[in-house]
């Protein structure tokens, strides 16, 4: 589920950036917000993976 959220955020950011080159371009704060959203989702995903690996090691299991 987290990966689908990341992919959706990536597509939204790509769409926002690609529309800025046109006459009806989106504002920089809008693009920055989309970028931060994607960064936050990636950070949460990586943190979750790290915590799962640590928990696995603590229980004596492989990754």
Structure tokens at 13: 């950011």
- For 50-61, the pLDDT digits (tens) are 988 887 777 776
In terms of pLDDT, which residue wins out, 49 or 29?
A: 49
- For 13-36, the pLDDT digits (tens) are 888 888 765 555 567 888 888 899
Taking every pair of Cα atoms in the chain, the longest distance, rounded to a whole number of angstroms, is 58
Per-residue pLDDT at 36: 94
- For 2-15, the pLDDT digits (tens) are 889 999 999 998 88
Q: Write down the pTM of the prediction.
A: 0.71
From CA 23, how far away is CA 47, in angstroms rounded? Answer: 39
């Amino acid at each position: 589920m987290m990966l689908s959220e990341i992919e959706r955020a990536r597509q939204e950011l790509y769409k926002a950036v690609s529309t800025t080159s046109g006459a009806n371009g989106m504002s920089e704060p809008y693009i920055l917000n989309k970028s931060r959203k994607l960064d936050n989702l990636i950070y949460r995903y990586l943190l979750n993976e790290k915590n799962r690996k640590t928990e696995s090691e603590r229980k004596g299991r492989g990754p």
